[in-house]
Amino acid sequence: LAGLITLTTDFGYQDNYVGAMKGAILSVCPEARIVDISHSIAPQQIGQAVYVATTSWPYFPKSTIHVAVVDPGVGTERRALVLCGSQGFYVGPDNGVLSAALPPELRPNVAQTVRPGPHLLAFELANPTYFRPSVSNTFHGRDIFGPVAGHLAAGIPVESFGPAVDEMFALPASTATRSGHGVDGRIQHIDVYGNLVSDIAESMLDCRRVDVTIEGKTISGLGRTYSENEGLFALVTSDGWLAIARVNSSAAAELGATIGDKIQVRW
Amino acid sequence: LAGLITLTTDFGYQDNYVGAMKGAILSVCPEARIVDISHSIAPQQIGQAVYVATTSWPYFPKSTIHVAVVDPGVGTERRALVLCGSQGFYVGPDNGVLSAALPPELRPNVAQTVRPGPHLLAFELANPTYFRPSVSNTFHGRDIFGPVAGHLAAGIPVESFGPAVDEMFALPASTATRSGHGVDGRIQHIDVYGNLVSDIAESMLDCRRVDVTIEGKTISGLGRTYSENEGLFALVTSDGWLAIARVNSSAAAELGATIGDKIQVRW
Amino acid sequence: LAGLITLTTDFGYQDNYVGAMKGAILSVCPEARIVDISHSIAPQQIGQAVYVATTSWPYFPKSTIHVAVVDPGVGTERRALVLCGSQGFYVGPDNGVLSAALPPELRPNVAQTVRPGPHLLAFELANPTYFRPSVSNTFHGRDIFGPVAGHLAAGIPVESFGPAVDEMFALPASTATRSGHGVDGRIQHIDVYGNLVSDIAESMLDCRRVDVTIEGKTISGLGRTYSENEGLFALVTSDGWLAIARVNSSAAAELGATIGDKIQVRW
């Protein structure tokens, strides 16, 4: 069965970018199977791409090749990487977007350089043999990341792409902090339903009898499903994050909330 | 040739939901071929999903596995079903979204429970063997519907998923009614061009010399194509519904119309 | 390896149109591999489809079947075509959208009928054997173009679809003109980042020390990457067009620019 490649980018759906990248992949490996995760990451929002990748990549088969391209520094000295681990391959710029490949315990507390190992090998994409013949300064999805993914799908060994490196740039999984009988966090993602996903993990909560305060409103207790509540309510998402929702409506619209806004839990 | 699976959801294109569901499918059946119909069904709008599915599923090959997930009641007592008919398989919650699988003559006049048979067999999704090992309360697309579709694609017999059931919840195909020399209906869908699709079927019209009234404006006659008209005009869509359009422009924007608005036909 | 089909349309992602067309393709050729380029071409904007296709089709493998459907004249006397060249097959209405298949030197200076040959053969889609049994007046993507692409993918020879024709309608690649020590052009595309892509090709510039004027603002020099600049700047896109961008932000929003607006280069 041919290699499976997933794509997570901020390329949008209206332009040529996704098509050109898929063409570049298929020109290298015509039998590659390509799956879109999302191309609607907000422009340049690396953290949003990490959230989406972290909550979707783990559900794919082992050996899947995951490509993430949110790359505001394209064409500069920022490195390009391929990572190789027991769950698959990860291709993208070394700007934090590949944090989603790291096991949670290796995610740093602040954005910084980390060692990905020992269970994740990293190689710099430095061998132009596996790039398009002509590489632009502004579209490495088409000229580098797509072709590299294609070559991986075609069976090229991961160490062929360039020298092993022992550092990569990584973003924190959460910046939430314990505060007495509670946790202070922030909204890290707002989904299509208007649900507000915080960066407070279920594991940080001592109990389910919590008061959650956001945008000046306090909500008591945790719901179990989306429909068995009224108005605003809190719940834990299927990925383990505390979130605020509204039955058949948008919590984001009701609260006027945006990514980065504070959220407090007390018990 | 591996199983073909179509997806119709309100998951949107910006989040992890579509990717996680596809990963869950491919982890069960790596060779499954997945086709997106739409993930831009408006949140919780079951009726819109039924419209989109009814007008796309019939064009797929027999034995295609059609999955529809618009599921505001996820995690509650609402059942999950798989249907099996001569044209394919249908997987989703038992909240009306699977109405699109019913032959038109079995669609009820009001939203209610119906018998899907005899040409459509129904089974409850009750066997956790075919779910993800851990099932959340809020994301059955990833934890139940996706894996079940993957197992169907891999050849698991439809009766393996749970007990046969003889009832399912269904929505009407239309609530339009005859009224003297005419029909009274409503707008059931607004497409990307701003065309207003009514729930008045061509078969309800006695002739093509009709006056159509919508939002206080009356349009005479039926056009044949989009370009051979001027301003607002009425036509019958390629799916057989009376619709209002505007040449190279949006009828919805001009009329300020929304789903559910009344539309009257007289002859 | 089964036939590869790309799709570029203005069908959007919310409706049944894309799904119905894919179903129609797969009903003809179940093993066809379908790649979405974009379905978010603005409604009826043939020129935008040509831009997107011109900048993505060349990256696909030879023999790929490229389908473009932006078709405001569907159901009228406008012809439908299939083109066959050394790089692949091209299917769509004869309204200019297939201009993207022409080599740059054959693109006309104004929208007009051209001879596509000798390296590109053209045939009218006239043989209903390869259409759906019932052809609507309003949805040829599903009833004609999709099935024809499916038959091409299944190996039907291109001359089977209808008579050879020696003319097709084509749009200019650019209407930019030299003007003393400069070039006058227009914005031809605005991408998801808000970058303004002009119709001034890099090859029309005598040097990189240029002043670019747009919406009353003048920008000096050409940048090399997106991040090594401040505020508004000009650069050449990876497809060779002069463009205006803004670091980590939208030039379109800052300038209030729209497609068709004038852009001047002087040196």
C39-80 per-position pLDDT tens digit: 999 999 999 999 999 999 999 999 999 999 999 999 999 999
pLDDT digits (tens, 9 = 90+) for A109-146: 999 999 998 899 999 999 999 999 999 999 999 999 99
- Among C52, C53, C59, the residue with its CB nearest the CB of A27 is C59
Residues of chain B short of pLDDT 50, as ranges, are: none
Interface test with C, best of A4, A138, A139, A192 (most C CBs within 10 A): A138
CA distance A100 to A123: 16
- Alpha carbon distances (Å) from A106 to A20, A63, A110, A120: 34, 21, 12, 11
* Contact call for C43 and B191, based on CB within 8 A: no
Give me the pLDDT at residue B30, please: 96
The pLDDT value recorded for residue B208 is 85
Question: Taking CB atoms and an 8 Å limit, are A59 and B10 in contact across chains?
Answer: no
Say whether pLDDT at A95 is over 90. yes
Distances, alpha carbon C207 to alpha carbons C175, C229, C266, in Å: 20, 19, 10
Q: Which pLDDT value is given to residue A194?
A: 97
Residue A134 touches partner B, C-beta closer than 8 Å:
no
Give per-residue pLDDT as tens, B72-88. Answer: 999 999 999 999 999 99
Rounded to the nearest integer, the mean pLDDT of chain A is: 96
On the question of pLDDT at C227 being above 90, the answer is no
Residue A192, min C-alpha distance to chain B (Å): 6
Residues 6+ apart with CB under 8 A from C112: C169, C170
Q: Which two tokens stand for residue C1?
A: 């390896």
Is the minimum CB–CB distance between A134 and chain C shorter than 8 Å?
A: no
The neighbours of chain C, by the rule of 3 or more Cβ pairs under 8 Å, are A, B
pTM equals: 0.97
Distances (CA, A) of C183 to B93, C150, C214: 60, 44, 12
- Distance to chain B for A33, nearest Cα, Å: 9
> What are A191-221's pLDDT values in tens digits?
999 999 999 999 999 988 999 999 999 999 9
Of residues B14, B76, B137, nearest to A38 (C-beta): B14
- C164 neighbors C158 (Cβ within 8 angstroms): no
pLDDT score recorded for residue A2 = 82
pLDDT tens by residue, C76-126: 999 999 999 999 999 999 999 999 999 989 999 999 999 998 899 999 999
Record: contact A17-C227, CB cut-off 8 A: no
Q: Residue A76, exposed/middle/buried by CB under 10 A (0-12, 13-18, 19+)?
A: middle
3-class secondary structure per residue, chain A: CCCEEEEEECCCCCCCHHHHHHHHHHHHCCCCEEEEEECCCCCCCHHHHHHHHHCCHHHCCCCEEEEEECCCCCCCCCCEEEEEECCEEEEEECCCHHHHHCCHHHCCCCCEEECCCCCEEEEECCCHHHCCCCCCCCCHHHHHHHHHHHHHHCCCCHHHHCCEECCEEECCCCCCEECCCEEEEEEEEECCCCCEEEEEEHHHCCCCCCEEEECCEEEECEECCCCCCCCEEEEECCCCEEEEEECCECHHHHHCCCCCCEEEEEC
- Substitution target in A238, A239, A242, A249 with the highest count of B β-carbons within 10 Å is A238
Contact across the interface for C238 and A137, Cβ inside 8 Å = yes
pLDDT of residue B1: 78
Looking at chain B, which residue has its C-alpha nearest residue C132?
B59
pLDDT in tens, B198-230: 999 999 999 889 999 999 999 999 999 998 888
Q: Is A60 on the interface with B (CB under 8 A)?
A: yes
pLDDT band at residue C263, thresholds of 50, 70 and 90? very high
Residue type, C3: G
C10 contact residues in B (CB cutoff 8 A)? 192-193
The answer to whether residue A53 scores a pLDDT higher than 90 is: yes
Indicate whether A57 pLDDT > 90.
yes
pLDDT tens-digit series, residues A138-195: 999 999 999 999 999 999 999 999 999 999 999 999 999 998 899 999 999 999 999 9
Which residue in the set B31, B138, B142 is minimally distant from A225, CB to CB? B138
Q: What is the pLDDT of residues C163-188, one digit of tens each?
A: 999 999 999 999 999 988 999 999 99
Q: Which residues of A touch C8 (CB under 8 A)?
A: 19
What pLDDT, on a 0 to 100 scale, did the predictor assign at position B179?
Answer: 87
Give the mean model confidence (pLDDT) for residues A223-231: 88
- Give bridge partners of residue A218 from the DSSP assignment: A213
Per-residue pLDDT at C121:
97
The predicted structure's pLDDT at residue A35: 98
Q: What is the ipTM of this complex?
A: 0.96
